[in-house]
Amino acid sequence: MTSRRVFILQSVIGTSALASGMAMAAPMVDEKDTAAMGLGYAADSSKVDAKKQPKHAAGNSCANCALYQGKAGAASGPCPLFAGKEVTAKGWCSAWAKKA
């Protein structure tokens, strides 16, 4: 039998583990991911092939895209195009839209 004290202790430990797991950062988008390849995602905007991605312009990056949900100055952040994953702030994809 489990005593009430043991049950409460296990509950607290389980809740703490769950909360710390939620605080972990989401995985980064891999450039070889199917969705990333379809959108021409590059983790570094300066390495985008201009011939393959004519919409790309110098200075465009995830950090100044309307879809980017990362905090200002953060190295990475979430993007709704890649649910559950983060993109680099200096990255770029063909869905880039100027931030208002």
pLDDT in tens, 8-48: 767 767 665 545 555 567 999 999 999 999 999 999 999 99
Residue owning tokens 């430990």: 13
When mean pLDDT is compared across 20-29, 56-65, 68-77, the lowest value belongs to: 20-29
Nearest to 40 by CA among 27, 60, 55: 55
- Token couple for 71: 């905090």
DSSP string, 39-59: TT-BSSGGG--TTT-TT--TT
Contacts of 78 (CB under 8 A, 6+ apart): 26, 69, 70, 85, 86, 87
CATH class name, domain 26-88:
few secondary structures
